[in-house]
Amino acid sequence: SYHLADRLSNLKPSPTLKLASRAREMKANGIDVRDFTGGEPDFDTPEPIKDAAIAALKSGFTKYTAVGGIPELKSAIIEKFERDQGIVYKPSEIVVSSGAKHSLFQIFQALVNPGDHVLLPTPAWVSYPDQILLNGGVVIGVPCLPSDGFRLRPQALLEAITPRSRVLVLNSPNNPSGAIIPKEDLLRIAEIVKKHNLIVISDEIYEKIVFDGQETSSIASLVPEIRDRTVIVNGVSKTYAMTGWRIGYAAGPAPIIEAVETIQSQTASNPTSIAQKAAVVAIRSGEIYFKPMLAEYTRRRAMLLESLNAIDGIRMSPPDGAFYAFPDVSGLLGKRFGDMEIRTVTDLSEFFLAEARVALVPGSAFGSDHHMRMSFATSPENLEEGVRRLKEACALLT
Ligand code: PLP
């Protein structure tokens, strides 16, 4: 057998990507599976964004670029932060990477020493714990309760802090719960961050996907001292339906950004040249491309609220943001399908895949044993059929 490094012993493949690949395999075998695992907009990348990449390609913009991103893209990002969030950054405070996931990994590399504690409000996106572990960090979960709409309560943060806590991860709107941290709570969290000398990684990738006129604020924009303790992460994947282009970015204090750039210079060199040109057009576009997508997500959210809540044993609360339903399915746990007992959300997800041919992610992947995640970044037809199948399957449980 091959000798693999010890750091792999605790690492697991992304559960969402793994489930998606199982669904793809079933499809390849001729089984009609409806897949709701992905956090990937079903929309195509808007044409003018694609055109920018084509033009870049044709003009020979096909070489290495500056490590941290081309100046034009950094300018577009700086304009965006100022326009949308009122935060002023210099080019030395911005680094562009190959997706927000890549940005995050490099930030953990730059900030986490072996044994350092990283505070992670939970439920949380699947990649944070593994990225932290891969960098020798220890994950300290901060429970966010369904009864609080999964919002991070400042008091819960305070109770979770340890002497070795160095970093706090915020993700608002949250994947999987959709929770948005209200401004007044962010202000209290900022006080705690200052008092305990923490650095905040604020993952704002779902910033634009918010419902019912809700507002999101970045902790970095609230109090001046906190700006210099925060690294904001964002990207074009979700807002502009550009998951395959792999462009994400980070903004924060120059020493941290420089460290990230050094890591990037030794690992990736630079994000793809033509994708950077496309990202310039996306980020400069304001609301024209994403507004119609948001309107569509809003319709789908309403549709799921009605149809999922019509299934016995499933209770969905309206998410504030992002494009996931995260219903409570505890009403189905403990039921039986023939000889099989559905004890956990993992059992339930297996049951749904086998009997309903519907792929949902068990909440346990995010740290929640009573919920399932269903992405609504997929067509209404798919959603309708998926819910119909779920309802039928649930009726088989006794
Ligand atoms: N952060 C969160 C919370 C996400 O849900 C995702 C994608 O699923 C990412 C980051 C990564 O996005 P990107 O495609 O830019 O790597």
Both tokens of residue 144?
Answer: 């966010």
- CA of 100 relative to ligand 1 center, distance in Å: 6
Token representation of residue 98: 């190959």
Across the chain, what does the average pLDDT equal? 96
**Contact, 164 vs 209, CB < 8 A?**
no
What is the residue whose two structure tokens read 């019912």?
212
Q: Is the pLDDT of residue 180 over 80?
A: yes
- For residues 103-130, average pLDDT: 97
Q: What are the strands, taking DSSP E only, across the chain?
A: 34-35, 94-97, 117-122, 138-143, 165-171, 199-203, 230-235, 248-251, 324-325, 336-337, 340-341, 358-359, 361-362, 372-375
Domain ranges of the chain: 6-44+289-394, 52-284
Q: Is the CB of 271 under 6 A from ligand 1?
A: no
Q: Is the pLDDT of residue 1 over 80?
A: no
pLDDT at 209: 97
Q: Can you give the pLDDT at residue 17?
A: 81
pTM comes to: 0.96
pLDDT of residue 286: 83
pLDDT at 308 over 90: yes
| Across 144-166, average pLDDT | 97
Is the pLDDT at 7 greater than 90? The verdict is no
Q: What pLDDT shows up at residue 224?
A: 82
Per residue in 186-208, pLDDT tens? 999 999 999 999 999 999 999 99
Using a 6 Å cutoff on CB, does residue 235 contact ligand 1?
yes
What pLDDT score was predicted for residue 303?
98
Q: What is the pLDDT of residues 358-395, one digit of tens each?
A: 999 999 999 999 999 999 999 999 999 999 999 999 99
Biggest distance spanned by C-alpha atoms of the chain: 64
Pairing of strands 336-337, 324-325: unpaired
d(CA 151, CA 148): 6
* Centre of ligand 1 from the C-alpha of residue 101, in Å: 6
Position in ligand 1 atom list of the atom nearest CA 235: 15
For the CA atoms of the chain, what is the radius of gyration? 21
Does the pLDDT at position 20 exceed 90?
no
Domains 6-44+289-394 and 52-284 share a fold: no
The finding on whether 39 has its CB within 6 A of some atom of ligand 1 is: yes
CA distances 3 to 7, 10, 12, 13, Å, are 12, 15, 17, 18
CA dihedral 295, 300, 303, 307 (to 10 degrees): -170
The average pLDDT across 156-162 equals 98
Fold of 6-44+289-394: Aspartate Aminotransferase, domain 1 (3.90.1150)
Alpha carbon distances (Å) from 93 to 50, 208, 246: 27, 22, 20
Q: How confident is the model at residue 210 (pLDDT cuts 50, 70, 90)?
A: very high
Contact call for residues 110 and 260 (beta carbons, < 8 A): yes
Asked if CATH classification 1.25.50.10 holds for the domain at 52-284, the reply, yes or no, is: no
Among 205, 246, 272, 373, residue to substitute to test ligand 1 (most atoms within 8 Å of Cβ): 205
Give per-residue pLDDT as tens, 36-50. Answer: 998 999 999 999 999
Contact of 365 with 122, CB cutoff 8 Å: no
Given the DSSP bridges, would you call strands 199-203 and 165-171 parallel, antiparallel or unpaired?
A: parallel
- Confidence bin at 12 (pLDDT 50/70/90): confident
